């Protein structure tokens, strides 16, 4: 055995287990460029040191957001050819509706061009000036939509969420005793609905445990309060429950996701993340009257309920197998 083989064997012993390459083949590339330090300093100054004002062509590695940053699969791109661009009743809408039903389970679904559009409809229907909406640690647009309607977002996340040294496995959990105290001290008429976000983008993408979701659902419903989920990163949350929470190791992420959503009255969703598409989202609910009100709201702003401001291709992509 030569020296190379000896070193290789030693490496294999130390580095077990061996991780295989990612199970996909890249079929397309896009050129990017790295500008020199002087140019980088100049464009930052011209942008007022606000990275939202930078041109994409001046960025080498873009870490601005996790929205719409995933590459779609070949099956998703192929599905764009079969899209149905009909104004009403498009086949693409019904395919997406079935996919949403299979995972989320709610009775009613309307597409949206992204998560904040779904939040806008929900808040336009339910939030009135002076009302409060409790949650764990909501995303900026969710809070902004509540504030825009005269409401107040209230964050009741665990204290561990702001402690980077804490190894708590579910830093996105709501502090249930604090929530109960808040609900007891607040007029129920001032709480149009309660929420939870997972994973918590504003808190570094921390997950919520299934135990906490059950407690949260029981608490909201005990006080007669609607419970909505901001489901932007539901797949990651389901996977982290599988990895970290006792009793869920042998369950599939789909089974876990279905259990999560069975505890709520509805959800908002940005499909630009876990659906791995360029644009899209939706609003779901179980209440028929609320659904009819939502349809009226969206017709005023974005379009007919079966396309909701999206093209047929954008309805088609999230409902297609990503393998």
Is the Cα dihedral 302, 307, 313, 317 positive or negative?
Answer: positive
Give the pair of three-digit tokens for residue 172: 């996105």
The domain spans of the chain are: 3-58, 74-319
Per cent of the chain over pLDDT 70 is 88
Are the C-beta atoms of residues 113 and 301 closer than 8 Å to each other?
no
**pLDDT tens by residue, 235-292:** 889 999 999 999 999 999 999 999 999 999 999 988 777 767 777 788 999 999 999 8
Per-residue pLDDT at 18: 64
Residue 191 has pLDDT above 90, yes or no: yes
pLDDT band at 313 (very low <50, low <70, confident <90, very high): low
Per-residue pLDDT at 182: 94
Per-residue pLDDT at 281: 81
Q: Considering only 42-51, 200-209, 247-256, which range has the smallest mean pLDDT?
A: 200-209
Per-residue pLDDT at 17: 59
Is the Cα dihedral 67, 235, 196, 318 positive or negative?
Answer: positive
- The third-level CATH classification (topology) of the domain covering 74-319 is 3.40.640
Are the C-beta atoms of residues 297 and 112 closer than 8 Å to each other?
no
**Strand pairing partners for 255?**
none
Distance CA 214, CA 49 (A): 43
Highest mean pLDDT among 1-10, 25-34, 306-315: 25-34
Selected residue with higher pLDDT from 267 and 232:
267
Per-residue pLDDT at 69: 65
pLDDT band at 188 (very low <50, low <70, confident <90, very high): confident
Distance CA 312, CA 320 (A): 13
pLDDT band at 1 (very low <50, low <70, confident <90, very high): very low
Q: Considering only 63-77, 135-149, 207-221, which range has the smallest mean pLDDT?
A: 63-77
Residue 132 has pLDDT above 70, yes or no: yes
Report the chain's mean pLDDT, rounded to a whole number: 83
Are the C-beta atoms of residues 312 and 90 closer than 8 Å to each other?
yes
Instruction: Give first-to-last CA distance, the chain, whole Å.
Output: 42
Q: What is the mean predicted confidence (pLDDT) over 136-144?
A: 84
pLDDT band at 16 (very low <50, low <70, confident <90, very high): low
**pLDDT tens by residue, 65-81:** 766 666 777 777 777 77
pLDDT band at 7 (very low <50, low <70, confident <90, very high): very low
Give the pair of three-digit tokens for residue 287: 């209440």
Residue 211 has pLDDT above 50, yes or no: yes
CA dihedral 171, 250, 269, 62 (to 10 degrees): 70
Per-residue pLDDT at 13: 46
3-state class percentages of the chain: helix first, strand second, coil last, to nearest 5: 45, 10, 45
Are the C-beta atoms of residues 316 and 79 closer than 8 Å to each other?
yes
pLDDT band at 323 (very low <50, low <70, confident <90, very high): low
How big is the chain, counted in residues? 323
Q: What is the mean predicted confidence (pLDDT) over 212-239?
A: 93
Are the C-beta atoms of residues 97 and 317 closer than 8 Å to each other?
no
Residue 136 has pLDDT above 60, yes or no: yes
Per-residue pLDDT at 106: 94
Distance CA 4, CA 12 (A): 12
């Amino acid at each position: 055995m030569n020296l190379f083989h000896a070193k290789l064997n030693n490496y294999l012993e130390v580095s077990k287990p061996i991780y295989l390459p990612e199970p996909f083949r890249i079929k397309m590339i896009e050129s990017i460029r790295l500008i020199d330090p002087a140019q980088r300093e100049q464009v930052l100054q011209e942008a007022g040191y606000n990275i939202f004002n930078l041109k994409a062509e001046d960025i080498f590695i873009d870490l601005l957001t996790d929205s719409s940053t995933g590459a779609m699969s070949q099956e998703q791109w192929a599905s764009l050819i079969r899209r149905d661009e009909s104004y009403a009743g498009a086949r693409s809408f019904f395919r997406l509706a079935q996919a949403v039903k299979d995972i989320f389970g709610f009775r009613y679904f309307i597409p949206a061009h992204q998560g904040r559009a779904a939040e806008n409809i929900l808040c336009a229907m339910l939030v009135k000036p002076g009302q409060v909406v409790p949650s764990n640690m909501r995303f900026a647009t969710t809070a902004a939509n509540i504030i825009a309607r005269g409401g107040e977002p209230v964050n009741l996340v665990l204290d561990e969420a702001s402690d980077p040294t804490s190894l708590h496995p579910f830093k996105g959990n709501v502090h249930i005793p604090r929530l109960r105290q808040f609900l007891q001290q607040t007029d129920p008429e001032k709480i149009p609905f309660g929420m939870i976000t997972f994973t918590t983008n504003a808190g570094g993408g921390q997950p919520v445990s299934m135990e906490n979701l059950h407690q949260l659902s029981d608490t909201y419903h005990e006080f007669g309060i609607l419970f909505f989920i901001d489901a932007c990163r539901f797949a990651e949350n389901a996977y982290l429950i599988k990895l970290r929470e006792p009793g869920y190791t042998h369950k599939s992420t789909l089974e876990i996701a279905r259990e999560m959503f069975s505890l709520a009255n509805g959800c908002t969703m940005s499909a630009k993340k876990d659906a791995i598409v360029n644009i899209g989202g939706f609003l779901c609910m179980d209440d028929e009257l609320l659904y009819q009100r939502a349809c009226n709201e969206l017709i005023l702003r974005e379009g007919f309920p079966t396309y909701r401001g999206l093209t047929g291709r954008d309805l088609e992509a999230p409902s297609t197998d990503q393998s």
